[in-house]
Amino acid sequence: MNYNQLINSIDQNKLAPLYLITGKQDYLIEQLRNKFTQIVPEEERTMNFAAYDMETTPLSDAMNDALSAPFFGEHRLVMINNPMFLTGERNKGKVEHDVDTLVNYIKQPLNSTILVLIAPYDKLDARKKVVKLLKQNATIVDLHEFNEAETINYVKQFLNQHHYDISNQVMNQLVQRTDGQLSVIMNDLPKLMLFCQRSHEITEEAVENLVTKTLNQDIFTLVDLVLKRRTTDAVSLYQELLMNGQSAIQINAVLLSQFRLLLQTMILKNYGYSQGKLAGMLKVHPYRVKLALRTITKHHLNDLKLAYLGLVEIEKQLKSTSESPELLFEMFMLKFA
């Protein structure tokens, strides 16, 4: 089940006793939290709704609540957040979880309880008994990363519902500035709508002035300057990033990540991988893969290798010497050019 299907089923009061929500779409997760909460009338929420964070609270507390009958109401809603015990990762907290209580509940859930597990992770450990049972018995909601088309469609629908317009050109500008990340776009939309409340049309000026470029977007520009061997412009942008508070190690790490992505994309594309499969294989946002595919058509594999190795050398020097980061980057550019 996807996000829209779940929203429709809740609106139609077609409720299941057990839900598992997966994926890292923070904005959509928050929307679903609010939607589930509305199932319980406001006057009943004190007694019939509870949310538990598994990083600070034992699972047994949540399960005891789930096993209780609703208090003068139709449903009891119990949300379990951050159930890291469903993954293969170690629990970073000191809280011990009795997972058997959940295993037993999954086998015989109460019809009067709606139990929602929100697992904001890329992957669950399919070998675990509790995960197998959830996949067999729960309603699974997959909040996968939206591709560019899905992001644009969602944003336009949202704006249309609030009687706002946005041109394709401005929409593309908004996607570029935010790396196509839905959560970032939706966080910026309220101030864009306020800025444009007279015309009810999101303008290029509003996006330019109110939406901050992500570091990845600046790094993408920097990568382009490096590959075009525009040394002066590349060094100037590098210095600008430092002046804006970015650390040299962080800038270099993101640069390395971007060149690694370009190399991986070029190699896998030569093996026949499509854009969609590349995003899944490399575990990156589909928009980044789209930009990478566009970039590699203009450059040779050997250039990507040389740039990557040069940045690896910068990383070593940043961690082992007191040389100026600007000087190290300038020397890298001169050598690469």
Q: Which CATH number do you get for residue 247?
A: 1.20.272.10
**In this predicted structure, what is the pLDDT of residue 192?**
96
76 pLDDT exceeds 90?
Answer: yes
Confidence of residue 12 (pLDDT cuts 50, 70, 90): very high
Confidence of residue 146 (pLDDT cuts 50, 70, 90): confident
Q: Are residues 9 and 136 in the same domain?
A: yes
How far apart (Å, rounded) are the C-alpha atoms in residues 26 and 46?
25
**In this predicted structure, what is the pLDDT of residue 93?**
64
Per the model's pLDDT, the better-predicted residue between 93 and 61 turns out to be 61
How far apart (Å, rounded) are the C-alpha atoms in residues 111 and 128?
25
What average pLDDT score do residues 92-116 get? Answer: 90
Confidence of residue 92 (pLDDT cuts 50, 70, 90): low
Confidence of residue 16 (pLDDT cuts 50, 70, 90): very high
Find out whether 31 and 59 touch, Cβ atoms under 8 Å: no
Q: Are residues 274 and 308 in the same domain?
A: yes
Q: Are residues 170 and 126 in the same domain?
A: no
What average pLDDT score do residues 191-197 get? Answer: 95
Strand ranges across the sheet with 76-81? 49-53, 76-81, 113-119, 18-22, 139-142
Beta strands (DSSP E) in 85-175 are 113-119, 139-142, 165-166
Find out whether 185 and 151 touch, Cβ atoms under 8 Å: yes
248 pLDDT exceeds 70?
Answer: yes
The overall average pLDDT reported for the chain is 91
Nearest-5° angle of CA 5, CA 9, CA 14?
Answer: 150
Q: Which domain holds residue 197?
A: 148-210
Confidence of residue 167 (pLDDT cuts 50, 70, 90): very high
271 pLDDT exceeds 90?
Answer: no
Q: Are residues 111 and 42 in the same domain?
A: yes
Helix (H, G, I), strand (E, B) or coil at 216: helix
How far apart (Å, rounded) are the C-alpha atoms in residues 41 and 76?
11
Q: Choose the final residue of a domain: 95, 114, 142.
A: 142
Looking at the structure of the chain, the number of domains it has is 3
Q: Are residues 306 and 264 in the same domain?
A: yes
164 pLDDT exceeds 90?
Answer: yes
DSSP bridge pairs for 29: none
Rg (CA), the chain: 24
What average pLDDT score do residues 182-194 get? Answer: 93
Per the model's pLDDT, the better-predicted residue between 263 and 179 turns out to be 263
Confidence of residue 230 (pLDDT cuts 50, 70, 90): very high
**In this predicted structure, what is the pLDDT of residue 331?**
93
Q: Are residues 287 and 315 in the same domain?
A: yes
